Structure 1
Amino acid sequence: MALAPRLEQYLNRKAIAFSERPIETVTSFEAAVMASGEDRGSILRASLLIDLEGALMVVHPFDSALDLEAIQQLTGRRLQPLTARQADRLFSDCDPGFHPAIGGAYDVPVLLEDEVAQWPQAVLSSGTDSSLLRLEGGNLRLALAGARRGHLVIKGQGGSEGTALTLEEVAAKLQKLYRLPPMPALALRILRLTANPEASARELAELIEFDPSLTAQIMRYARSALFNYPGQIQSVQEAVTRVLGFDRVAHVALGIASVRAFDVPREGALGMDQFWRHSLYNAFLCQKMAEMCNADKGLAYLCGLLHNFGLLLIGHLFPGEFEELNRLREVNQDVSMRSLEQQVFGDADGQEVLAVGHGAIGGILHRLWQLPDAVVKAAGVHQQPDYHGDHEVYVLMVQLANGLLKQQGIGDEFNPDDLEALSGRLGLSEDDVESLSAEIGKVGAELDDLARSLTA
C-alpha cells in the first residue's frame, strides 16, 4: 500500500504528517468513498478545470457541486471541465480517476471552497485505488497553503439521504404536493392494447396510424440500418409483421407517446435530445442482455427505454431547478446524479422529497400510469447499487447497460458501479460483456440518427 509517488514526495518534502486508510481495490473514487464507510462530510474532492491559461484544481466537499459562474467571477476566466482522459494524463502517476485534492504536488494552482479551511480533518484520494489519505486540520491547511479561497459550490453539501423515505412515502407526498401529468391518451390506448394477449398487428398498426407523427417515427425506425430489411416497407402493419415485431413496435410507440406528457428543453446533458439517445442505447443493450439471460426481450427493452422518465418529470414540474441540474451535470462530470440531485433539491423549501433521485420519481410515475411492475422497479431503483428484490434481473440489466454506456460517454449516470459484479449476478461472462460493448460501436450511428429523429 502506498500513495501516488509525486503526492508522497510532496508531503514528505513539506513535512506534512498523514495517515492512510486502506480499502478494497475499487474502480472509482466514488466507489472508494462508499467502500470506506467514512463520513462523507469529511471527504474532499478535486475537480479539474481548464482554459487557454492552463489547468486549475477546485478542492471542495465530496457531496457538493461546482458553481461555474461563481468560479468565473472569482478568477475572471471561462474555465471548462477537463475530460477524464485529460485529467488522468495530468495525474500520470495515479490510478485512473483517482486524483488527489492537493494541487501543489502536481504544480496545478488550486481554488479552495471556503468552508474546507476550517475542517478539523479531511479524507481524500491517495492517488491509488486501494487506499484513502487522511490529514488532520493543521496538516490539511499546510498541504493547501497558497490556495485561493472563495464560495465555489452550489448550495453547500447535500443534506438529504435518498434512502430515508420509502417509495410509498415519496409517492404519497408527490401526489399531495404536485400535479403529476396523466399518461397521454394515445399512450394509454397502446398500453391497454399490449395487455390484451389476443391483440393483433393490425389493431396496433391502426392505433398508431391515427397519429401521423408517430406513424412517421415508427416507419423511420423500421427502415433504419439497425434492421437491414432488404425490401420495401409501405405501412405500419408491415413494419410490425416483417421487421420489428409486435412488442418492439408497441414499446417504442408507447415511449414516444408517453414523452408527450412532458415539456422539457432539448438542449443540455439532461435535455430531450440526450434523453432519447441514452434511452435508446440502454433499451438496445437490455434487449441484447435479455437474450443472454433468458429474460423477456420485450419487457427488457421497455425497462431500458423508460427507466429515465423521472428526469423528464422533474424537468416538467420544475423547469428552473431542472435548468440548474442540467448545468451542474455538464460542469461536474465526475459527480453522481444522486449527489447533484441532493444539491438542487435536498434543502429546497418544500422540495426535499425530490432529493430521493430521478429514479424513484420515475418509478412512482410509472406506477401511477400502471406500467408493468418490472418497468416500475427498473426505473425506481436503477440508482441503487447492490439492489436485491423483485424483478432484480431487469434492474441489473438497466444498471449494467448504464455502466457500459458510461464508458462510452453516453448517458447521465455517474454513480459508482462494479461491472464485473453486475455481469456476474446476471450470469454473463467476460466475453458476453465484451460483445455487448462491441455492439454499441456497431449500431451507434443508427441509434444516434434515430434519437435525433425522435426530437426533430
Structure 2
Amino acid sequence: MSSVPTSVMEQLDTQKIGYQIASAKFPPGSGRRVRATILQDNLGQLQALLPADRLLDVRLVNEILGRELKATRQKDLQPLFDKYKLQNIPALPKLAGMPTIVDASLLQTDSLLLASGSLGEVLAVSTADFKLAMNDAEIGDISMPLKADALGDDVLAITQSVQSFTKRRVEQRLEETLELPSLPETAQRIINLRVDPNADISDLASIVEMDPSLAAQVVSWASSPYYSAPGKIKSIHDAIVRVLGFDMVLNLALGLALGKTLNMPQDGPFGSTHYWHQSVFTAAMVEALVTKIPREHRPGFGMSYLSGLLSNFGTLVMAEVFSPHYSDICRLQEANPHIPYQAIDRHVLDVSRDQLSAWLMDLWNMPPEVVAALRLQGMPQAEDDQIAYAQLVYLARALLCQENLIHGPALNVDDSLLDALHLKRDQVEEAVESIAESKDELLSIVKELC
C-alpha cells in the first residue's frame, strides 16, 4: 500500500498529471530527482523546485523575483506538514496554492522523479506533464552544481581559498595567514604523554589538574549518570581508576582542551546542533559501535573516541578563519538541508572545513588516526590506512541523524560500509538503541560543557 499522502494524489488528479508511484530507493528509469524548498519573506511563502543534486542559491531567486526571501524554519513548516500529512515537501507546482519558481534545468530532461510527501516513495512523471502543471510558475536559473571533494594537496587548496577570500596574493606561510592559535599547552603536554612509554596515572592526573576548568569537566563527565559510577567522584585519579580508564581520560581531556581553543561561532544554520551536543553524541555513538567490532578488527578505542569528539572541530575553524563568509554558508545550509556541509563549504570557498581541521591537526602533530578521521569523514570509501576512523565517524553521524539525535542531511549507510568495519546490522541497531536510551544522560554531559 502506498504511503503517498492522499492530499498529494488528489492534487495530481486535479492537475491531470500522469504519474507512477515508485520506491525512492529504487526508482524506475533515468528520471531526474526533484526536491522542493519553501522560502518566505514579509510577502508570504514561495515554493522553489530544483534538481535534488544541485544547490539552491536563494540570492539568485531574490534577484529574479525582486524579493528578500529566506529559507523557512522547520517550526514554521510544521502546520503544512500536519495539515497535509507530509513527511517531506512534495515537489508539485503550486503546492497549497503557493507561487512557485522552477529551476530551468529541470525542463531539459524527458522525465522527473518528484519528492512525493513520503520519504519512501517518489512520483515518476513526464516532463511534458510537469510543464502543464506549472501553469504560471516562474522559471529561472536558481541552482548551482555541487563541487566534488577529492584527495589532493589540502595546503594548496586552503592557500588558494585564502587568496580568493582576501582578494590579494598571500605570501606568508599558511599558519601565519590564518592567524590561528597555537596548540594549547595542556593539549601539548597530553600529546607528549601519549608517546611516553613510562607514563602512568599520576602523570596524566597532574597534567589535567593543572587546568582547573578541564579537571572539573573530566570529573563531571565521569560523575554523569551515563557512566553510573558508584559513589562520588572526588578527583581526576578517581575518574581514571574507578570509571573511565587511562586511555579514555587521556583522549577525553585532549578533545576538551582542543574544543576550548577556538571561540564558539555566534552564527549558525537554524536548527543546527550545538558544537558540544554533536561532539558528545558522536563520540558516544562511535564508542558504542567500536565495542561491537570483533577485537581482531577493532580500531584503537581511544583514537576512535577522540575522532568522534573532534569530528566537528572544523566548524570552529571555518567560523574563525572565514567569519565574513561563514554566514553565507549558514544561509545556504538552511536552504539546502539535504546537502552535506562539505559541498556547501566548497561551493562558497573552494575548501571544506574538513580540510581545514585536518590540516590544523596535522600542524599540531596530532595522531594520524585523528587527522584521517577529520579529513575523510565525508569520504568513507576513500583509500587510506586509517580510513576505519573516518568510517566510524561517518556511520555515527548518519545513525544519529536518522534518530534525530543530531541535525543533518540523511547519509547513506550501505552494507559495504558495515562490511568494511566488520559490523552486522543487528549490532548497529543495538548500538543505536543504547544511545537513544541514554539520551537524557548524554544531554546532562552536554549541559555541563555549554
TM-score interval for Structure 1 and Structure 2 normalised by the shorter chain: 0.7 to 0.9
**Alignment match, 2:56:** 65
Moved more, 357-366 or 239-248: 357-366
Does the 8 Å contact 1:187/1:258 carry over to 2?
yes
* 1:109 aligned partner, one-letter code: M
Unaligned runs of 5+ in 1: 27-31, 346-351
Structure 1 equivalent of residue 228 of structure 2 = 228
Instruction: Choose 401-410 or 162-171, whichever is displaced more.
Output: 162-171
Alignment of structure 1 residues 210-225 onto 2, 5 Å: 210-225=210-225
Q: Distance in 2 between matches of 1:222 and 1:86?
A: 42
In structure 2, stretches of 5+ residues that fail to align are 162-172
Match of 1:292, SS state, is coil
Residues 112 and 147 in structure 1, CA contact (< 8 A), matched pair in contact too? yes
CA apart distance, 1:315: 0.8
From 74, 87, 100, the equivalent of 1:111 is 100
What does residue 311 of structure 1 align with? Answer: 315
**Contact 1:50 1:82 (C-alpha < 8 Å) held by counterparts:** no
Match of 2:36 among 46, 64, 68: 46
Q: Pick from 359, 362, 368 the counterpart of residue 367 of structure 1.
A: 362
| Alignment-derived partner of residue 161 in structure 1 | 148
Match among 94, 97, 120 for residue 108 of structure 2:
120
Counterparts of 1:78 and 1:269, CA distance in 2: 10
Q: Which amino acid aligns with 1:282?
A: T
Provide the rounded CA distance (Å) in 2 between the counterparts of 1:100 and 1:147: 16
Q: 2:167 corresponds to which residue?
A: none
**Matches for 1:136-215 after TM superposition, within 5 Å:** 136=127, 139-147=129-137, 156-158=143-145, 160-163=147-150, 165-167=152-154, 169-170=156-157, 173=160, 176=174, 178-179=177-178, 181=180, 182-215=182-215
For the 8 Å contact 2:284–2:305, the answer to whether it is kept is: yes
* SS of match in other structure, 1:146: coil
Return the offset for 1:325.
Answer: 2.4
Q: Does 1:80 align with 2:76?
A: no
Contact residue 48 and residue 82 of structure 1 kept, 8 A: no
More deviation in 221-230 or 139-148?
139-148
Report % sequence identity. Answer: 23
Q: What is the TM-score normalised by the length of structure 2?
A: 0.78
Query: Are positions 1:452 and 2:439 aligned together?
Result: no
Q: Structure 1 residues 226-235 or 311-320, which shifts more?
A: 226-235
Where do residues 254-273 of structure 1 align in structure 2 (5 Å cutoff)?
Answer: 254-265=254-265, 268-269=268-269
Distance 2:315 2:329 in 1: 10
Deviates more, 1:318-327 or 1:159-168: 159-168
Matched position secondary structure for 1:163: coil
Change (3 A) 1:372 1:130: same
**Cα distance, 1:77 vs. partner?**
10
Indicate how the Cα distance of structure 1 residues 242 and 329 shifts in structure 2: closer, same or farther if over 3 A, else same: same
Q: How does 1:25-40 map to 2 (within 5 A)?
A: 25=25
State the shift of 1:133 in Å.
3.9
Give the C-alpha shift of residue 251 in structure 1: 1.2
Tell me how far apart the structure 1 counterparts of residues 271 and 70 of structure 2 sit (CA, whole Å): 26
* 1:397 to 2:407 alignment: no
Q: Using the TM superposition, give the Cα deviation of residue 411 of structure 1 relative to its aligned residue in structure 2, in angstroms.
A: 3.4
Secondary structure of the equivalent of 2:49? Answer: strand
Instruction: Measure, in 2, the Cα distance between the counterparts of 1:109 and 1:189.
Output: 59
Does the Cα contact within 8 Å between 1:280 and 1:451 map onto a contact in 2?
yes
